[in-house]
Amino acid sequence: MTAPATNHNTLLPSYTIVGGSSFAVGQNPWARRSAREPEEPARTSLSDPEQVWLRTVLQEIRHIADLEENWDGYGAGPIRTDVLWYALRLLQSVMDDCPAPQLTPMSHEGVLLEWLRDGVRLEIEIENAGAAYVSYENEESGIDDSWEVRADFATLQEPLRAIAGRTSAASPSTT
């Protein structure tokens, strides 16, 4: 007896990602046993004003996860679920009172997180789970920098403060 074929992108929209119920360990590519699953946020109510970004991001992730083969008309494959999980984990680690990013699917099965506000641009490109490439420009401070982040997202705090309007002239460390 053969196992039924599974579309990897149907797993994400059919489960609650945060709050409420959690994924079954066998279904989740970022299972807790590997310590890579996004942590449950401290606030469990998605109606909490501080969770507006989360509602927006979850809606966009569900939409992106539903994209099928050739979604761009040029043969792009579906966006990988592990990339979407990594994007959510990254956001849960760094978001405070910053507005939600725009999520854009990329033709190489990755996702782009982008903020543009008051002369500040922050782009985070995720091609593979476990690494993100950051591009940050701040017209006011003159910063124009790019770097890679992996497990430590601390270098994203200053750019996100600038997006949220709590700007700092300090350049993020690129270590």
pLDDT for the residue numbered 82: 95
pTM of the model: 0.70
Higher pLDDT, 98 or 124: 124
Whether the CA torsion 49, 39, 29, 105 is positive or negative: it is positive
Which residue intervals of 14-123 are DSSP H helices?
52-65, 81-94
CA distance 99 to 80: 24
CA distance 36 to 3: 27
Give 50-85 pLDDT, tens digit per residue.
678 898 999 999 999 999 999 999 999 999 999 999
